[in-house]
Amino acid sequence: MAQTTIAYLERRYRALEKEIANALRHGPTDGSAIADLKYRKLIIADEIQHHRRLVERFGKSDSEGASLRLEIRSPA
């Protein structure tokens, strides 16, 4: 599950990189729109790192992933 999530987030990250590059390449753009895209890219990068740390901490097996999901959803 965690590896699937990481792969999805990495695809979103690359898509945002392309979107930013396209926006910058097509001349004058709305600075706030570019800033929003960069912010979203940063958020996704943080999520990728978070999920990678979880995988390192709890392992990669499905049984560990199931217990990991329970830990994440439980109230602190």
The count of structural domains within the chain is 1
pLDDT reading at 75 higher than 50: no
Residue 63 confidence (pLDDT) above 80: no
Query: Per the domain annotation, does 20 fall within a domain?
Result: no
pLDDT at 60 over 80: no
Alpha-carbon distance of 64 to 24, in angstroms, equals 43
Residue 4 lies in a domain: no
Looking from the CA of 55 toward its CB, the CA atoms found within 13 Å total 16
- Domain presence at residue 1: no
Containing structural domain, residue 61: 40-76
Amino acid, single-letter form, for residue 39: Y
Instruction: Classify residue 58: in a domain, yes or no.
Output: yes
Question: 5-36 pLDDT, tens per residue?
Answer: 999 999 999 999 999 999 888 877 788 989 99
In a domain, 54, yes or no: yes
Taking only the tens place, the pLDDT of each residue in 40-52 is: 999 999 999 999 9
